[in-house]
Chains A and B, each alone.
Chain A
Amino acid sequence: SQQGEEDPQALSIQEGENATMNCSYKTSINNLQWYRQNSGRGLVHLILIRSNEREKHSGRLRVTLDTSKKSSSLLITASRAADTASYFCATDFGAGSYQLTFGKGTKLSVIP
């Protein structure tokens, strides 16, 4: 079963614009993570936010988490053509349950 659901499924923006992707999930979580996947490659971890955190930054990335709404957002500021990729959210349920459950992803295209 897939816990997370990203929105939108696809997003196309101009270089320099900001990109916002959303993730909704169904059950209580321990951590929420965002991953990036270039076409035909493995996933790369971007950022992890814990259930007791509300916002986290890493370079041009900003992640928010609203546990009351069971949702998270990933903001990429000042996008570059190299940001073109699929982005996935993943959730886990905490100690003793190490499985990551992934959403279907948002495909981001950044046009130069």
Chain B
Amino acid sequence: DGGITQSPKYLFRKEGQNVTLSCEQNLNHDAMYWYRQDPGQGLRLIYYSQIVNDFQKGDIAEGYSVSREKKESFPLTVTSAQKNPTAFYLCASSISSGYSTEAFFGQGTRLTVV
């Protein structure tokens, strides 16, 4: 089945620790995105990538890092510089076209700082 897979579903991080969230897609999409969702805040864009080996900061990139070495994969690292990382993280992908930017989402990773 085609789709976008995030892992793990739940993740616990200790203070000062870096953690990496995985996002893989087999939809052959060029564009991939990471969003953060806090209660009552909607979705905020962290990073996005339109092609392999290229990515841009979104609205809240501080304390996060990404890589795009393969078309299928767009991992997100939450670094110790992110002071309030507890949130629900959503990865998405879309065909980069001028006509449609319908996004397909993974099921999310819930990160909690302990």
A and B bind: yes
Residues of B with C-beta under 8 A to A112: none
Closest approach, in angstroms, between the C-beta of B30 and any C-beta of chain A?
Answer: 9
Q: A88–B41 Cα gap in the complex (Å)?
A: 11
Please give the distance in Å from A66's CB to the nearest CB on chain B: 21
- Tell whether A99 is near chain B: CB-to-CB under 8 Å: yes
Count CB-based A-B contacts (< 8 Å). Answer: 66
Is the Cβ of B107 less than 8 Å from the Cβ of A101? Answer: no
The verdict on A62 contacting chain B, using a C-beta distance below 8 Å, is: no
Chain A: number of interface residues, binned into ranges: 20 to 34
**A77-112 CB contacts (< 8 Å) to partner B:** 88, 90, 92, 94-96, 98-105
* A2 near B105: Cβ-Cβ < 8 Å: no
Interface digits, B73-114 against A, CB 8 Å rule (1 contact, 0 not)?
A: 000000000000000101010101110111111111010000
A69 at the interface (CB under 8 A from B): no
Q: Is the interface of B mostly helix, strand, loop or mixed?
A: strand
The answer on a CB contact under 8 Å between B42 and A104 is yes
B14-22, B44-52, B63-71 - the one binding chain A: B44-52
B43 interfacial contact with A, CB 8 Å = yes
Query: When chains A and B are docked, how far (Å) is the Cα of A88 from the Cα of B56?
Result: 24
Q: Which of A1, A90, A102, A104 has the most CB of B within 10 A?
A: A102
| Given A88-B43, A99-B58: A42 in contact with B100 (beta carbons within 8 A) | no
Report whether B108 and A40 are in contact in the complex, using a CB–CB cutoff of 8 Å: yes
A42 near B107 (CB under 8 angstroms)?
yes
Query: Of the candidates B45, B48, B90, B98, which one forms a contact with A43 in the assembled complex, judged by CB atoms under 8 Å apart?
Result: B90
Nearest A residue (CB) for B59: A1
Q: Which residues of A contact B110 (CB under 8 A)?
A: 40
Q: Once bound together, how far apart are the Cα atoms of A40 and B106, in whole Å?
A: 11
Q: If A2-B44, A92-B101, A102-B43 touch, does A41 touch B108 (CB 8 Å cutoff)?
A: yes
Give residues in A with beta carbon < 8 Å to B. 1-2, 31, 33, 35, 40-45, 48, 88, 90, 92, 94-96, 98-105
The 5 residue pairs across chains A and B that have the minimum distance between CB atoms: A95-B98, A42-B105, A104-B42, A102-B43, A43-B105
